[in-house]
Amino acid sequence: MDRFTTPLRIQPIPYQGSKRALAPRVCQLFPERVETLFEPFAGSAAISIYAAHHKLADRFMIGDVYPELIKLWELIIDHPQELVAGYRSIWNEQFNVGPTHFNNVRAAYNEGKDPIALLYLVARCVKNAVRFNSKGNFTQSVDKRRTGMQPERLERSVMEVSRLLKGRTTLFTGDFRECTASAKSGDLVYMDPPYQGTTYGNDKRYAAGLSRERLIDVLHELTERDVPYILSYDGKTGDKTYGEPLPSSINADHLHIHAGRSSQATLSGRDQDTVESLYVSKSLGAAEADIYRAKDAQFSLFAA
């Protein structure tokens, strides 16, 4: 079906790592009916937006541990015109202020945590590759080749996303375990947490990481409560693998999605493909589906 092959163009928060391009394939794995779709590591909430557009879920829970991101989502959903006006003002300033503008906005954001300034920084930074330090301060630098998302394009995306999610969405700031505490068997949890490769070692990219052991504990809890889930976690780029496979005790089918050329590798001057790792509750029946058997399939199945 066309809805499972074509990504949506609407993306009010454009950042590297968004699942917008993969949303059609991830949503192939959805059950026939979802009461509430939980997305506790929301980021750009690409899966929720796609599911709302295609009427794959009745309600949505968008959560994240980063408070300013949830404040930004509140503006997108409930106050889109206020958001667009504020963004347009900041975006236009760059042409009057000049090269220091981005750093000025970044410094002001790190001091006052204005969510509209956050959106501008995400849209204007290098390759939309968001980086925070351990204090939650934005650290990425400006992309000198672009001016960021134009206000008119942002307005189209924000107004459409507001239309899709307003009155159907609950926002949550905090830990993913707490965000999914009310999930039940008729719901679905989609998780895209920080990967092992960006939680440990020198390549820490986020204000809050996630231990592998804690993630496994929550997956066990969801399974015990008969709550279906889909988890994007790790994978590989070229010869680099981002983490060890999760154990069979999580009772999930392990799929790999061939995601195309790596944006991060391109940023570093390398030509490498990315393979995303996806864990799917066995209750969703991914192993019995035909999605990875076709000659041109973008899925491959691994035993977990």
CB atoms within 10 A of CB 138: 21
User: Same domain, yes or no, for 246 and 265?
Assistant: yes
For residue 269, the model assigns a pLDDT of: 52
User: Same domain, yes or no, for 56 and 174?
Assistant: yes
Find the CATH number of the domain harbouring 133: 1.10.1020.10
User: Same domain, yes or no, for 110 and 185?
Assistant: no
Q: Rounded mean pLDDT of 243-250?
A: 88
The pair of three-digit structure tokens given for residue 185, joined into one six-digit string: 């068997």
Q: Which residue has the higher pLDDT, 20 or 207?
A: 20
Task: Answer whether residue 149 shows pLDDT above 80.
Answer: yes
User: pTM for the complete prediction?
Assistant: 0.87
For residue 1, the model assigns a pLDDT of: 45
Q: Decide: 73 and 162 in contact? Cβ < 8 Å.
A: no
The pair of three-digit structure tokens given for residue 254, joined into one six-digit string: 């392990």
Task: Answer whether residue 160 shows pLDDT above 70.
Answer: yes
Q: Which residue has the higher pLDDT, 1 or 87?
A: 87
Task: Answer whether residue 204 shows pLDDT above 50.
Answer: no
The pair of three-digit structure tokens given for residue 130, joined into one six-digit string: 């968001």
Q: Rounded mean pLDDT of 102-124?
A: 98
Q: Rounded mean pLDDT of 133-139?
A: 91
Amino acid at 292: Y
Rounded Cα distance between 240 and 78, Å, is 41
User: Same domain, yes or no, for 274 and 236?
Assistant: yes
Q: Decide: 280 and 255 in contact? Cβ < 8 Å.
A: yes
Task: Answer whether residue 97 shows pLDDT above 50.
Answer: yes
Number of domains in the chain: 2
Q: Is 206 exposed, middle or buried (0-12, 13-18, 19+ CB in 10 A)?
A: buried
pLDDT band of residue 256 (cuts 50, 70, 90) is: confident
The pair of three-digit structure tokens given for residue 301, joined into one six-digit string: 């199945």
| 213-217 contacts at long range (C-beta below 8 A, 24 or more positions apart) | 215/246, 216/246, 216/247, 216/249, 216/250
pLDDT band of residue 291 (cuts 50, 70, 90) is: low
Task: Answer whether residue 265 shows pLDDT above 50.
Answer: no
Q: Which domain-ending residue is among 90, 120, 155?
A: 155
- Which of 110-127 are b and which e, b meaning 16 or more Cβ less than 10 Å from the residue's Cβ? beebbbbbbbbbbbbbbe
164 in any annotated domain: no
Which residues contact residue 86 at a Cβ distance below 8 angstroms, ignoring those fewer than 6 apart? Answer: 116
pLDDT band of residue 83 (cuts 50, 70, 90) is: very high
Task: Answer whether residue 8 shows pLDDT above 70.
Answer: yes
For residue 44, the model assigns a pLDDT of: 94
Task: Answer whether residue 267 shows pLDDT above 60.
Answer: no
pLDDT tens, 165-196? 999 999 999 999 999 999 999 999 999 998 76
CA–CA distances in Å: residue 157 to residues 35, 94, 111, 212 = 25, 22, 28, 35
Q: Which residue has the higher pLDDT, 18 or 117?
A: 117
Q: Rounded mean pLDDT of 241-250?
A: 82
Task: Answer whether residue 224 shows pLDDT above 80.
Answer: yes
Least confident of 71-75, 210-214, 238-242, 258-262: 238-242
User: Same domain, yes or no, for 184 and 80?
Assistant: no
Least confident of 78-87, 155-164, 220-229, 273-282: 273-282
Closest to 4 (Cα-Cα) out of 26, 31, 32, 24 = 24
Strand partners, 125: 142
160 in any annotated domain: no
Strand partners, 254: 279, 302
Q: Which domain-ending residue is among 155, 186, 217?
A: 155
For residue 124, the model assigns a pLDDT of: 96
162 in any annotated domain: no
Domain of 26, in residue numbers = 2-72+170-302
Find the CATH number of the domain harbouring 67: 3.40.50.150
pLDDT band of residue 264 (cuts 50, 70, 90) is: low
Locate tokens 């231990």: which residue? 211
Rounded Cα distance between 60 and 42, Å, is 11
User: Same domain, yes or no, for 120 and 257?
Assistant: no
Q: Which domain-ending residue is among 93, 126, 155?
A: 155
